[in-house]
Amino acid sequence: MQISLQQQLKQGRQYIEFWPAQPELLNYFAEYRAVIVSRFVLKYGAPLAALAFLLPILFIGVEQLKQALFYALFIGSLPVQSLFLMYNKSKEPLPPSLKSWYKNGVEKIKDKPVDTEFSLIKPTFLDLAKLLHFSYHRIG
């Protein structure tokens, strides 16, 4: 089934938003580093692109217009690139070590009222992010 680019970017943003902003997650999940970088790029990508365009023109002159435009377009495209990469990461199945940890976590919260569906068959990184989001915001 084909998913449009807009839907892919939307799911990438959802994946980023599901990860709780907890510093201790850096110690356990390498994926969290990419989430932190993506949050930074989404927040500061547009202002940095504007600076990359304006500063060379202001300080060096109009002869730097092509280079300034190139750098601004590259920096301006980083938020879209990060959302697309996060979408791809969200679809990846969990490795065996995380899969067993994920299944144990789902078993522990089965008796709690859950409004999110947790997949036990082929869990993905998006499912892991949902479990962590639920754990930090509903339980803890």
pTM of this prediction? Answer: 0.85
User: What local confidence, expressed as pLDDT, does residue 2 receive?
Assistant: 85
Task: For residues 18-26, give the mean pLDDT.
Answer: 90
Beta-bridge mates of residue 124: 93
Task: For residues 91-101, give the mean pLDDT.
Answer: 91
As a whole number of Å, the CA-based R_g of the chain is 19
CA distance 137 to 53: 40
pLDDT in tens, 114-138: 666 777 788 999 999 998 988 887 7
pLDDT in tens, 36-81: 999 999 999 999 999 999 999 898 888 889 999 999 999 999 999 9
CA distance 94 to 132: 14
User: What local confidence, expressed as pLDDT, does residue 115 receive?
Assistant: 64
Task: For residues 8-34, give the mean pLDDT.
Answer: 92
